[in-house]
Structure 1
Amino acid sequence: MLKLKNNHLLKNSNNQSRTIFLKFCYFSLALLLFSCKSDAPKSDNTSKTIETETKTTVVATTSKRVVFFGDSLTAGYGLDDVENAFPGFIQQKIDSLGLKYIVVNSGISGETTSGGKNRIDWVLNQKPDVFILELGANDGLRGVNLSETKNNLQFIVDAVKTKYPDTKIVLAGMQIPPNMGQDYTSEFKNIFPDLAKKNNLTLVPFLLENVGGIPSLNQSDGIHPTKEGHKILASNVWEVLLPVLK
């Protein structure tokens, strides 16, 4: 008997809960309809907001892209902030002159010309208007066959020209210590002006000019520049890049 009474009370409780829930649903629906009506006059403001956002997007997309494709020098290895790498300082120089270019840093520490060859198609999705090629240093330090390095760099240049014939290419020249012998060192140095001449590229004669071998401008490894060193790298690049941007 007690069990039946409890079941009866439970059913009544469930019925009351359903009734309260239905009333809550009706109330919520009414509130939603009321809110929709009260929001109707604001449609003009909404359209204005969308229009403003569209205009902002259009302005942003009118900026051209300068893509830096390189190794740890471009990536800013060892620095607290990638903006302190030389491409970041290039962006500051661009902004100071009001030029409509956005710098894209596509540097990867440890990258070789072979690695660059393998990822060039992906990087070209950035649709560069100016392409800065800074690769080869790791090849030289590892004693990679010089013809392989040169062929890989040529492959990258060809890939850019094929996909974007109007893109301007700047090649950053590099030199290495004579650890691999004088012949290797000299031939390595000549790769960059030779490629620049053959492909009609703008050449930065030596990216690490006035930085390489100077302890105060390099980190403890003696290879990667400090923030102050990167400022000088930026000046070395800017000297030949500015006429290209203008």
Structure 2
Amino acid sequence: MNLRTGYGRFAAAVNSLLIAILCLYCLSLGAHAQTAPKDGPIKLAILGDSLAAGYGVSPAQAMPARLEAALKKAGRNVTVINHGVSGDTTAGGLQRIDWMLADKPDIVMVELGANDALRATDPAVTEKNLDAIIAKLKEAGVTVWLAGMLAPRNYGPEYAQQFDGIYKRLADKYGVPLYAFFLDGVAQDPALNQGDGIHPNPKGVDVIVERILPFVTKNLDDHASSVRRPARP
């Protein structure tokens, strides 16, 4: 055997083996990076209107701030980011998704549609906008939750039926968790609303948080399971 040739073949074989091992190692590092628990709090953004923004109450009394406080009291390491804009519609929410995503949220709760209903917007238009919002968020790799709204009953049963069904249809289409009615337990209760009869007062905000908290905690656990991070940080 030619020593030089034999050694060259042996060296090439060893190099190939080392390269293969290195590739496998790099792949395992990449997989670990994707499944390893994420440091820091979970970021939950609420993309909403005045009901999220906290119209008529102080920033500390707004729903996102009160929800974050309740979650921390329950031992949850969650930051709730207020992306509520008073007067915003589903069209407005769609236009500012990129701005919201700059905060790099893990989860986005979409709380929009009340102003569409107050303006008697065609439910088909509202549904199209919400559909586009959910699709864009999911395309960005964000977990999406949907908070439902009900139409004013003075618009008649046909409008109410068309509008109210939007949220269930979209939740089923995209497989996202749905909280059926954001104002559950608060709507039309004078003791829990401001003088306009529409926006919750601080007591009303606390009722919203109390009612929605089980939905949030359950879906935080589901989210934690999906990304393989501890359910209770």
TM-score range, shorter chain: 0.7 to 0.9
Structure 2: distance between partners of 1:187 and 1:239: 28
8 Å contact from structure 2 (residues 137, 143) kept in 1: no
Over the matched positions of the two proteins, sequence identity in percent amounts to 38
Q: TM-score, normalised by structure 1?
A: 0.72
* More relative contact order, 1 or 2 (CA 8 Å, 6+ apart): 2
Match of 2:92 among 82, 101, 115: 115
1:168: how far off? 2.1
Q: Which residue identity is paired with 1:76?
A: G
Structure 2: distance between partners of 1:216 and 1:99: 30
Greater Rg over alpha carbons, structure? 1
2:114 pairs with 1:141: no
Residues 1-246 of structure 1 mapped to structure 2, 5 A cutoff: 62-79=40-57, 81-164=58-141, 167-246=142-221
Q: Deviations over 1:203-240 (max 9, x none)?
A: 11111111101111100000001100011111222121
Q: TM-score, normalised by structure 2?
A: 0.76
Q: Which residue identity is paired with 1:137?
A: A
- Over the residues paired in the alignment, what is the CA RMSD in angstroms? 1.4
Name 2:4's counterpart in structure 1.
none
Structure 2: distance between partners of 1:241 and 1:180: 31
Structure 2: distance between partners of 1:86 and 1:122: 21
Deviating beyond 6 angstroms after TM superposition, the runs of 4 or more aligned structure 1 residues are none
Structure 2 residue ranges without an equivalent (≥5): 1-38, 222-233
8 Å contact from structure 2 (residues 51, 84) kept in 1: yes
1:70: how far off? 0.1
8 Å contact from structure 1 (residues 170, 241) kept in 2: no
1:179: how far off? 2.3
